[in-house]
Structure 1
């Protein structure tokens, strides 16, 4: 891959060194992302009056400071006002609430994904245990201690207080659909095996007051606006440059920020 930016070459060696910072499904995609990053860096350094080739072993911190100075001069964004923040707050209610909390107990019969014999046996053990607990629910802690492959068996199978994302999606589905205080009537399959599950308590999160999250929303909107503006500015630089060996698109006229 031979690439040049306004006549300045970006070598394959520079691209090879940059690839490690751009993980991608294929090497071709990673090399394209690396080459694009080096082209953009070259353009921004040129705007900063730093015309070194991409192979130049200049101080990274110094170059980053020069690039940030260029972007700060080129991009001026107003802070989001309160009305804008309130609209974002109203349109994204699920982002601004305390987490849902669950208290549950389980008994795990382990079986790896793909081991059909082990999973069949684990499911049958879970079914047998559910039958026992349906008749004798008070035995949950006892059976968890003697049967569960999870360390929680030592404390009666208790998972403690957990919120979304702290357990598997399969368990969470039942956390939301079981009535608190009930035993799940079917074994719950997860990548770890089959679970006998009891939901003890559930507390849904509550909306957080706007005043509590105002600063967080403003910072998020400011960052999103900055990223869009940087993308547009870089696209304009690409459109105005003579770039050979790679097609990055780019705009040829100023863009609205």
Structure 2
């Protein structure tokens, strides 16, 4: 199912040599999507900060593929443990407020019946033109009101880059675990049914998505998920502190060929920084 297996990213490709304080982030001629480049830049900022703090040998070198040495990974971990100011464990009131505001995140058994039209990004594709085609398809299927003709099915069969095109884009009943995280965030925990009014961007491409039907599932009681709620709040605090620290490092660095003004998705913590 292409909604969960295609490896491409939706992003313009980076062609110029990008550097952090003169250190190259990729090999000559290597093409990186913007998000991967920004992740490498943040990792390099942390590697250099660990060296400046005396936690990493000055002779440690960045590699063209962005993979850290074991010593660098350990030094960055020590740097963050000693630098980030993360608040204490959340209070009971904070946990209750978070739970009340995000009850949909603690449902079990939620399922949706989806159809989609995938505009996949492949090497060499012109992303702006692809987006125009996807937006035109979205407008077409949303504005087609002929009850005798299923425009979504026809569009999926002719336009979609997913094997589900043969089934009119029908993906069947899915849980959040069946979908790419980017798709799951847009689809689950909501009430809307029908063609979503916006394109859904994922690592696989651009999706025109229709929610055919929903099974809402059951919300778990607070007592059952209290530990999960607390962990979510701790993770949010860590991510906030990490982003602030990286912003400070970026502000003091000399950057070339990479834009760190747009916030990184750091909700995966160390994974996003490749450490």
Structure 1 length-normalised TM:
0.47
Structure possessing the higher radius of gyration over alpha carbons:
1
Higher relative CO (CA 8 A, sep ≥ 6), structure 1 or 2?
2
